[in-house]
Structure 1
Amino acid sequence: MKIIKILFILLFSIGVFNQAIASDVYFVDIKHILNNSKAGKKAQTFLKKKFDDENEKLKKESVSLKKEESDLISKKKLISNEDYKKKLNLLREKNINYQKKRRNASNEWLKKKNEARAKLIKTLNPILQKYMNENSIEMIVDKKNILLANSKFDLTEKILKLLDKELKSIELN
């Protein structure tokens, strides 16, 4: 009989303890906040425009290189072998430079994207900390790391509103 009482008390204590721990853990969807905040949307629009502009320039250059290549192929029999090789080498150099430009543009875009994300997160962290302190919350975790949770523990929209009040846009040169 004593063993049953001890087991009952032990199981009840574990259940209460787990409930106490779980009630202090909330979650936010960081990806949703970064993508849907006012500053995040403006940064995405800016980056997309920059990417599209650069991509358009690169497409024009690619078309030009292809045209130059087809012209060279069509003139192969009309020009000397030596001239052909010189022009072919020149075309290869242009192609290599084009690939470098394309790679650099991609790296630059990725760098700007990461910079914007870092600035948003840098602003978001103090907001989360302040919210935790004001509401006596022990822990906030990212939603992507949660398998299943009750939606009443989701702070995403509240934090999104706070971030929108705090940060209207991000400076990206």
Structure 2
Amino acid sequence: MSFSNKLITIFIVLFINISSAQSEEKIVYIDLDYVVSNTKAGKLIISNLEKSKKIALSKFEKKEKELKKIEDDINKQKNILSQEELKKKLVEFRKEIAIFQNERQMVINDFNKKKIDEFNNFFKKITPIIQSYVSERNIEIVLDRKNIFVASKKKDITNEIIKLIDSKIK
């Protein structure tokens, strides 16, 4: 037997052994988006974020209506006011728009930061729960559902994790 045949045989044997060893590993997946939207704690976070978003939106809609009214008033007075008075009103109006846009951007940034913080805290709470579940069942790898093309539904632990989280986090 030549050297190349021996080498090929060794690679085949190693490949078969590695494949069978890997098939014994327990790999499961979880749909984290579904976990967030279907656990009690996740629903509470989403509900609170929606409420604060609605409050901010209603505040901005009110301010936009006021600014639109001011703009309409300026347009109606265009022919009546002198150039200086018109420029003065336009400068004031533009300042108010700039202030409004800055406030709006600050609220959006604060909301996004709050959203990130809330979900980070949520994941800090559920990670130990998932880790204990994984260690109890001798699971080697847990993948996120988004990163899987096709898998057996038997490998989905999402509903089990939701029940576990709901029982542990109040």
TM-score by length of 1: 0.85
* Counterpart position of 2:28: 26
Spell out the pairing of 1:38-53 with structure 2 (5 A cutoff): 38-53=40-55
Deviation at 1:35, TM superposition (A): 1.5
Write the deviation string for residues 52-99 of structure 1: whole angstroms up to 9, x where unpaired: 111011011101101101101111121221111111100000001111
Deviation at 1:13, TM superposition (A): 3.8
* Counterpart position of 1:94: 96
Deviation at 1:16, TM superposition (A): 2.6
* Counterpart position of 1:67: 69
CA-atom RMSD, angstroms? 2.1
- 1:165–1:73 CA distance, 2 compared to 1 (3 A): same
Query: What is the CA–CA distance in structure 2 between the aligned matches of 1:82 and 1:62, rounded to whole Å?
Result: 26
List runs of 5+ in structure 1 lacking aligned partners: 169-173
* Counterpart position of 1:17: 21
Query: What is the CA–CA distance in structure 2 between the aligned matches of 1:45 and 1:114, rounded to whole Å?
Result: 15
Query: What is the CA–CA distance in structure 1 between the aligned matches of 2:73 and 2:12, rounded to whole Å?
Result: 88
2:161 match: secondary structure: helix
List runs of 5+ in structure 2 lacking aligned partners: 1-8
User: Given the alignment of the two structures, is residue 131 of structure 1 paired with residue 152 of structure 2, yes or no?
Assistant: no
1:131 match: secondary structure: helix
- 1:146–1:68 CA distance, 2 compared to 1 (3 A): same
Deviation at 1:105, TM superposition (A): 1.6
* Letter paired with 1:97: I
